[in-house]
A and B are shown apart, each in its own frame.
Chain A
C-alpha cells in the first residue's frame, strides 16, 4: 500500500506538491490524472525516493521512503516516463542484473523472467543489444524488469508510451491481474482511457493539490456532470482553476 501524508514539495518558490494526503490500499489500481506540470511526476519521484519531500511523509508497504529507504524500495517497482536501460546489454542480461540487485533467488528469477518474457513476446529480442531495440520494445523491457521481483507496489509514469495496441493490452492485463493478486498499482497518465478502463479509483492533481479522489462515479458526481471521464476531468480542473483565480483575486484585494 502507498500512504502519502501532508506531502509537500517546493522547488525554490514553486510549490509542485501542495499537501497531498492519499492512501492507496493493497491491491488497488489507482490512476493519477492531471494537466501538465500538475505535480504528478514529482509525487511519483517522492514515492520512489528519488527526491526528498519538503514536508510530510511517503510510505510504501508500511515503510517510510526516507527513513527506511531500502525496505521500501525492496517492495517497490518504479518505471519513469523515459526509463534508463544499459544500451550495450541484452534484455536477458538486464533482467538478470535487476533481479540480482533485488537479491532474487536464481530459480525464482528464472521462473519469473521466463513467464514475463513469454507474456510480452520478448523471446526474439533476448540476445540483441538494447541499443538496437525500438522505443516500444524498450518500454516492454523496462516493464518486465520492474515486474520481475513481484513488487508489492508498482508505480509507473505513462505506461503506454510507444506501445502498440497489442502490447498495450498485455500491459493492461498484467497490471490488472497483479493488482487482483494484491499488488498496489499507481499509474500516472494523460490517457484518460487507461484510467477509465483500468482504475479502481482515480485521483486528479491540479497545481500540486489532489482536487478529487474517488471512483469514476464519485468523480462524475463531484463534477456535477454525467458525461465521460474526459468531461469530468475538464470540469473538475476548470472548477479548481476558478477557485484558484478567486483566491488570488481575494488575496490581492
Chain B
C-alpha cells in the first residue's frame, strides 16, 4: 500500500526515530516501515496514532472498494448541507419578518435548540461511552497490557467524544451559517463559533462518560432496561405537564400579541437558565454576532474554566473508577444483588420450566403458521427484546415523535387554516416515515447478514432461505406497522381530520411501511456481509448506505407527490388529483420496495452457503 497518502506523522520515515533503526526497518523488503517511530513515547499518543491510521485506511478502503459508494456518501452529505442550510435560512428570514419580534424569537429559538442539543449530546455521549468502554474488544485487549487504566480511559474518552459530537457539529454548521448570513455578521464570527462549539462539546462528554461508568458499575442489563423505561415514562409525563396548554382566545391573539407571546415564551425560559452550558454557548454566539466581544469573551472564559476543571477531573481521576466498572461488567453481578428481594426476583426469573413461554403461547395462537416459521418468529422477537439498543433506539425515536403528535392537540384550536392542517399532516407522515427508515436501515437491513453467521442452522434447515427472508420481511413490516399506523392515526385525530382523510393517511403509511421494510430486507440480501458480527459495521458498508439514501429519497419523493396530488390542498375534493397522486406513489413504491425484495428472493434461491 502506498504510504504517500497517509496522514502526516504516520509515515515513519519522517519520524524522529534513530537513523540506524529506520535503516534496519527498511532493510527487509517484506517489512514495511510504517510506524517506525522512537519506541519511547506516551501510550496515549501511540493509541491515537494507531487508531488514526486505522480510520484513514477505513476511509481509503471505502473509496477503493466502490466509487459509487463514496459518490453516494458525498452526494448525501452535500445534499444534506445544502438543503438544511436553505431550510434554516428561509426559516430565519421568515421569523425575521415578524415586526419587533423577529430578533427575540430567533434568539429564543437558538437558546432552545442548544438546550435540547445539549440533552441529546449528553444521551449520545452516555450510550457511546458505555459501548466504547465496556463493550469494546480493544478495551479488554488494552487492559491486559502495561497501559494504565487512566490512559485507556483517556483514549476511550477522546474517541467517544469525537463519535458522539460529530453529528452535533454537522447539524449546527448550516444553522450557524444561515444565522450568520441573515444577521450579516463579521467574518470572525465563524471561527469564534468553532471555538465555542469545541469547548462546549467537552462538557456533555465528561458528564456522559461519568454516567456511563457509574451505570456500568451499578446496573446490570435488566436493571438498566427497567430504569430506561421508568425514566422515559417520567420524562414524557414531565414534558406533558410542562407543556400543558395555555388558554388563549382569538380575541387575545388579535389585541394583545405581545402579552400572548410572553406567556408562550414562558415555557421556553428554562433554556436561559444561566448555569446551563448551552446557555453559555448560545449567549456567547449571540453576543459575538452582535459585536459585544467583551461579553462573548466572558462566556468563552466561563466555558473554558468548566472545560479545564471537568476535563482535568476526567483525565486524572476516572481511571480507577473505570477499571472497577470494567471488572464489574465482566463479573455480571449487580450491586443490587446485595438485597434479598432482588436476588429472589432474579431467581424467579431464572427458574427454568420445560413449558413454552408466554411469547411462544401467543405466537402459537396465530392460525395457519408452520411450526418452523413460528420458531423463527419467536427467536427474532426474543433477540429484539434482549437487545436493549434495538428497542431503546426505537423507543426514543418514536417516543419523541409520539410526544410531539400528542401535543398537537394544544394547537388544533389555532390550526383552523386548511393550508396549515394539510401541511402539518404531510409533515407528520414524512417524519414518521423518516423515523422508520432510520430503524429499518439500522436494524432490518443487517438481519440477513447476521443470520448468515447462523446459516449452518437456519440455512440448512428444511425451512429454506426464501421462507426465512419472507418471514423476516413479514415480521419487520408487521411490527413497524403497529407503530407507524398508530402514530399516523393519532396525528389525524389530533388534527381533527375526517374519517376519509384518516383512511387515506393510514393506507399511505401502510404502503410506505411495507416498502421501506422490503427495501431494507431486499438490499440486505443483495449486499450481505457475513464477516461482521457488529450490525453497525454491516450498515456502514455500501448496501447499508445505499439503503439509507434510497429510503430517504423514497420518502421525500412520495410525500411530495402525495402532497401535490392531495385532493385537500386547495380545499376542493378532486378525484383525478387523488388518482394521479396515488398511481404515481404506488408505482414508485413498487419500484423501490418490490424490486429489491424480489431480486433478493431470486438471489436467495440459488444462494451458496
Asked whether A92 and B31 contact (CB < 8 A) given A52-B327, A104-B39, the answer is: yes
* Residues of chain B from 31 to 63 with CB closer than 8 A to chain A in the complex: 31-32, 34-41, 43, 46, 50, 53-54, 57-58, 61
B478 near A: Cβ within 8 Å? no
Q: How large is the interface on B (under 10, 10 to 19, 20 to 34, 35 or more residues)?
A: 35 or more
Q: Which of B25, B30, B141, B330 contacts A110 (CB 8 A)?
A: B25
Q: Is the Cβ of B24 less than 8 Å from the Cβ of A89? A: no
Q: Is the Cβ of B143 less than 8 Å from the Cβ of A129? A: no
Q: Is the Cβ of B332 less than 8 Å from the Cβ of A84? A: no
Q: Is the Cβ of A99 less than 8 Å from the Cβ of B39? A: yes
Q: Is the Cβ of B332 less than 8 Å from the Cβ of A96? A: no
* Residues of chain A from 83 to 104 with CB closer than 8 A to chain B in the complex: 83-84, 86-90, 92-93, 96-104
- For B146, what are the chain A residues with a Cβ–Cβ distance below 8 Å? 70, 73-74, 101-103
A250 near B: Cβ within 8 Å? no
- For A98, what are the chain B residues with a Cβ–Cβ distance below 8 Å? 145
- For B324, what are the chain A residues with a Cβ–Cβ distance below 8 Å? 52
- For B333, what are the chain A residues with a Cβ–Cβ distance below 8 Å? 10-12
In the complex, which residue of chain A has the Cβ closest to the Cβ of B28? A114
Asked whether A100 and B41 contact (CB < 8 A) given A78-B144, A89-B53, the answer is: yes
Could you tell me the distance between the alpha carbons of A49 and B332 in the complex, rounded to whole angstroms? 16
Q: Is the Cβ of B24 less than 8 Å from the Cβ of A84? A: no
A109 near B: Cβ within 8 Å? yes
Q: Is the Cβ of A50 less than 8 Å from the Cβ of B334? A: no
- For B141, what are the chain A residues with a Cβ–Cβ distance below 8 Å? 83-84
B227 near A: Cβ within 8 Å? no
A246 near B: Cβ within 8 Å? no
- For A102, what are the chain B residues with a Cβ–Cβ distance below 8 Å? 145-146
Could you tell me the distance between the alpha carbons of A99 and B18 in the complex, rounded to whole angstroms? 16
Binds B, one of A119-127, A161-169, A181-189, A235-243: A119-127
Binary contact track A143-169/B, C-beta < 8 Å → 1, others 0: 000000000000000000000000000
A45 near B: Cβ within 8 Å? yes
Could you tell me the distance between the alpha carbons of A45 and B324 in the complex, rounded to whole angstroms? 14
- For A92, what are the chain B residues with a Cβ–Cβ distance below 8 Å? 31-32, 34
Could you tell me the distance between the alpha carbons of A90 and B35 in the complex, rounded to whole angstroms? 11
- For A96, what are the chain B residues with a Cβ–Cβ distance below 8 Å? 35-36
In the complex, which residue of chain B has the Cβ closest to the Cβ of A78? B144
Asked whether A88 and B39 contact (CB < 8 A) given A49-B143, A73-B146, A78-B144, the answer is: no
Could you tell me the distance between the alpha carbons of A114 and B1 in the complex, rounded to whole angstroms? 21
In the complex, which residue of chain A has the Cβ closest to the Cβ of B39? A100
Q: Which of A10, A11, A51, A103 contacts B40 (CB 8 A)?
A: A103
Q: Is the Cβ of B334 less than 8 Å from the Cβ of A12? A: yes
Q: Is the Cβ of A12 less than 8 Å from the Cβ of B332? A: yes
Min CB distance A81 to B, Å, is: 12
Q: Is the Cβ of A11 less than 8 Å from the Cβ of B34? A: no
Min CB distance A156 to B, Å, is: 12
Binary contact track B136-174/A, C-beta < 8 Å → 1, others 0: 011011011111110000000000000000000000000
Q: Is the Cβ of A48 less than 8 Å from the Cβ of B30? A: no
B17 near A: Cβ within 8 Å? yes
In the complex, which residue of chain B has the Cβ closest to the Cβ of A48? B144
Asked whether A103 and B39 contact (CB < 8 A) given A9-B331, A110-B24, the answer is: yes
- For B61, what are the chain A residues with a Cβ–Cβ distance below 8 Å? 88
Could you tell me the distance between the alpha carbons of A97 and B52 in the complex, rounded to whole angstroms? 13
Could you tell me the distance between the alpha carbons of A127 and B57 in the complex, rounded to whole angstroms? 14
Q: Is the Cβ of B138 less than 8 Å from the Cβ of A70? A: no
Could you tell me the distance between the alpha carbons of A100 and B39 in the complex, rounded to whole angstroms? 5
Asked whether A86 and B50 contact (CB < 8 A) given A50-B327, A50-B330, A123-B30, the answer is: yes
In the complex, which residue of chain A has the Cβ closest to the Cβ of B25? A110
Q: Is the Cβ of B38 less than 8 Å from the Cβ of A93? A: no
Q: Which of A78, A107, A127 contacts B30 (CB 8 A)?
A: A127
- For A101, what are the chain B residues with a Cβ–Cβ distance below 8 Å? 43, 46, 145-147
A252 near B: Cβ within 8 Å? no
Q: Is the Cβ of B32 less than 8 Å from the Cβ of A110? A: no
Q: Is the Cβ of B36 less than 8 Å from the Cβ of A50? A: no
Min CB distance A35 to B, Å, is: 20
Binary contact track A41-68/B, C-beta < 8 Å → 1, others 0: 0000100111110100000000000000
Could you tell me the distance between the alpha carbons of A10 and B332 in the complex, rounded to whole angstroms? 9
Could you tell me the distance between the alpha carbons of A211 and B100 in the complex, rounded to whole angstroms? 85
Could you tell me the distance between the alpha carbons of A127 and B25 in the complex, rounded to whole angstroms? 13
> By CB atoms of chain A within 10 A, which of B36, B137, B145 has the most?
B145
- For B46, what are the chain A residues with a Cβ–Cβ distance below 8 Å? 97, 100-101
The 3 closest A-B pairs by CB, nearest first: A12-B333, A84-B141, A106-B21
14 of the cross-chain contacts (CB-CB < 8 Å) are A10-B333, A11-B331, A12-B334, A70-B146, A86-B50, A86-B54, A92-B32, A93-B32, A93-B50, A100-B37, A100-B46, A106-B21, A106-B38, A127-B32
B residues within 8 Å of A by Cβ? Answer: 1, 17-18, 21, 24-25, 28, 30-32, 34-41, 43, 46, 50, 53-54, 57-58, 61, 137-138, 140-141, 143-149, 324, 326-327, 330-334, 337, 343, 346-347
A residues within 8 Å of B by Cβ? Answer: 9-13, 45, 48-52, 54, 69-70, 73-74, 76, 78, 80, 83-84, 86-90, 92-93, 96-107, 109-110, 114, 123-124, 126-127, 129
* Extra pairs beyond A50-B330, A101-B46, A106-B21 (6, CB < 8 Å): A10-B331, A70-B146, A73-B147, A97-B46, A100-B37, A103-B39
